[in-house]
Amino acid sequence: MKLATTHQPVYHVPMRTLHWTMALCIIALFVTGPIMVAFDAKDTLRPAFYSFHKSIGALIVALVFVRLAVRWLSQVPPLPAAMPPGERLLAHAGHWLLYAMMVAAPLTGWATSDMYGYGVKFFDMPLPKLFPTLGAETGAQAGDVHTVVAYLFLALVGLHLLAIAKHRYVDRDCVMHRMA
């Protein structure tokens, strides 16, 4: 059964709430990630940054599955009628790639921590070990994969914002109200 929708072509309130909560968390991860890896090993702020980054990252794992379930249950507003088929395809592909990144980025981060043997906590609460401890060398390799995935994700978010700006300033069929 689908959740009730209004007559306006806008995303359902739970979808909008999840979009903005997760966007805020993901921006915090894009900011804390590069800062924490640049810290000196003995810097007293380093553990706090890692703990925050991992906790918020773990939250993303949980929220992305809630969001996919909510999306499945709610009605997604149709794209603007005037949008050409090629652009529609691009919009759908972009959105699904963003979802793929919301799964891949935190899981590769989780793999990095588990493979090093540090484990993952949500602040003070220990979370399940999802990957085996494989030592520093494999941990570092997983960290490289996480870094590449994270920056690909950042590039995709950049394209997402460009697409929204194009609708606002070129196509003049602003889509912001659908998610605002």
CA dist., res. 176 & res. 20, Å (int): 12
* Beta carbon nearer to ligand HEM, 71 or 171: 71
Distance between CA atoms of residues 38 and 30, nearest Å: 13
| Piece in contact with ligand HEM (CB under 6 A), picked from 40-48, 81-89, 128-136, 146-154 | 146-154
Strands (E), the chain: 121-122, 125-126
The CA distance from 103 to 143, in Å, is: 16
Three-class secondary structure of residue 126 per DSSP: strand
Angstrom CA distances, 45 to 15, 49, 51, 143, stand at: 35, 6, 10, 20
Would you give the end-to-end CA distance of the chain in angstroms?
A: 25
Interface residue with ligand HEM among 29, 63, 70, 115 (CB under 6 A) is 29
**Could you say which residues in the range 9-28 bind ligand HEM, by CB under 6 A?**
19, 23, 26-27
Out of 53, 63, 115, 131, name the contact with ligand HEM by CB under 6 A: 53
**Contact characters 107-136, ligand HEM, x per CB under 6 A:** --xx-xx------x----------------
| 44 versus 103: smaller Cβ distance to ligand HEM | 103
Q: What are residue 84's phi and psi, to 5 degrees?
A: -65, 155
The residue within the footprint of ligand HEM, chosen from 54, 63, 70, 131 (CB under 6 A), is 54
71-84 burial, b at 16+ Cβ within 10 Å, e below that, comes to beebeebeebeebe
Q: Which of residues 63-82 bind ligand HEM (CB under 6 A)?
A: 71, 76
Task: Using the minimum distance from each CB to ligand HEM, give the nearer residue, 44 or 69.
Answer: 69
Q: Give the residues lining the site for ligand HEM (CB under 6 A).
A: 19, 23, 26-27, 29-30, 33-34, 37, 53-54, 57-58, 60, 71, 76, 95, 98-99, 102, 105-106, 109-110, 112-113, 120, 143, 146-147, 150, 153, 157, 160-161, 164, 175-176, 178-179
